[in-house]
Amino acid sequence: MKSSVAIVSVLALASVPLWLRDPYLMNALITTGIFIIGAMSLNLLLGFTGQLSLGHIAFFGIGAYVSALTSLGFDAGLPFDLRMVHEPWPPIIGFVLAIVVASFCGYLVGLLSFRVRGAYFVIVTISFAEVVRLVALNWVELTQGPLALTNIPSITIGLPGLGDLTLRTKLQNYYLVLAVAVIAYVLIARLVHSHFGRAMRGLMENETLAVSVGIDVTKTLTLAAVISAGIAGAAGSLYAHYIRIIDPEVFAFINTVTMVIMVITGGKGSLAGPVVGGLIFGLLPVALRPIMAPEAQWIAYGGVLIVILFVLPRGIVPSLAQRFARRPKRIEKVVPVAFSERDAKEHA
């Protein structure tokens, strides 16, 4: 996406609270924004390294729990009569710790999973998310289990000269989420266009060739997993401090699927893809709410995912970009995506 388009988009999104006063819609936009950050981090793995992580919500949920527990404090028993006691810290430290811990978990999963690829990688990531969910559900002393962590404080930011600002209103949280989303977008964009990004895409398109020119597979993929998990953890932290209550359901598989749908429909391997897909699928329930029961909405979700995979297998943004970039000199602007065997045959 050209930088002028990006700047106009950000300005347009920044102007939304000026004319939109409806609190329900604002809430939908904020939670959508948080999930878009998660989807962007998923896209880093799925779109640029080709690894389908279906346990991505684990990093999001770990970020949410770490941030919430840091700012709430806890007192939990450990084996051998040890106790783990923690006094509440400011939520902003929780936000940082959420990124650190989620990144570390990303490192572990990356290290373990890149030994196995394809379907096996998918199943390892699902298993990881489910184990984390079961721990959150059963370690009641730490996480309150199904009773949920409640009264999570809002994020407080120290502004120079203005004192501390606690972000309680929807307006403040909207700009916080927008700011984090822009930072994440710029970070991912710079990463993708760096040497490291080219190494990732090289691996995705032809691993044997990439290895033969000296790209370190494990290092590249693990680093991608670490950064991706860290961004997802940041999104989880925002979620915890905005919603202010989290329970183990945050780890539900359907939340990962929501992120995957956002990435796939928008276009994997396209920087703007998760944003476009996220806005469509985040706001679709708002549009469908008056006309459809929630169960029917989910039927539509599944149906739309199937239809998009059949009709626009590369996603909305790459398909549109290709349509608008017929002239050869602009083809190079299109971020390459993985070609399936069938695509390759069509192009041949």
Q: Which residues bind other proteins (CB under 8 A)?
A: 50, 52, 112-113, 115-124, 126-128, 130-131, 134-135, 137-138, 253-254, 257, 260, 264, 293, 295-299, 301-306, 309-310, 313, 338, 340-342
Q: Which is nearer to other proteins, 157 or 338 (CB)?
A: 338
User: C-alpha angle with apex 310: 46 to 229, nearest 5 degrees?
Assistant: 15
| β-strand partners of 84 | 76
Residue 169 Cβ vs other proteins, minimum distance, rounded to whole Å: 34
Residues of the chain by 3-state class (helix, strand, coil), percent to 5: 70, 5, 25
Q: Which is nearer to other proteins, 89 or 207 (CB)?
A: 207
Residue 121, phi then psi, degrees to nearest 5: -60, -45
| β-strand partners of 246 | 149
Q: Which is nearer to other proteins, 14 or 338 (CB)?
A: 338
Q: Which is nearer to other proteins, 155 or 260 (CB)?
A: 260
Q: Which two tokens stand for residue 124?
A: 């390892």
Cβ atoms 113, 124 nearer than 8 A: yes
Q: Which is nearer to other proteins, 194 or 218 (CB)?
A: 218
Q: Go through the chain and tell me how many residues it has.
A: 348
Q: Which two tokens stand for residue 229?
A: 């998990």
Nearest to 42 by CA among 92, 1, 102: 102
Q: Which two tokens stand for residue 290?
A: 């008056």
- Cα–Cα distance for residue pair 274/37, rounded to 1 Å: 8
Residue 227 Cβ vs other proteins, minimum distance, rounded to whole Å: 21
Q: Which two tokens stand for residue 197?
A: 């990004």
Q: Which is nearer to other proteins, 27 or 297 (CB)?
A: 297
| β-strand partners of 156 | 166
Residue 67 Cβ vs other proteins, minimum distance, rounded to whole Å: 24
Residue 20 Cβ vs other proteins, minimum distance, rounded to whole Å: 30
Residue 115 Cβ vs other proteins, minimum distance, rounded to whole Å: 7
Residue 153 Cβ vs other proteins, minimum distance, rounded to whole Å: 29
Q: Which is nearer to other proteins, 165 or 287 (CB)?
A: 287
Residue 113 Cβ vs other proteins, minimum distance, rounded to whole Å: 8
Gyration radius of the chain's alpha carbons = 20
For 60, residues 6+ apart whose C-beta sits below 8 A from its C-beta are 38, 102, 232, 233, 235, 236, 239, 250, 255
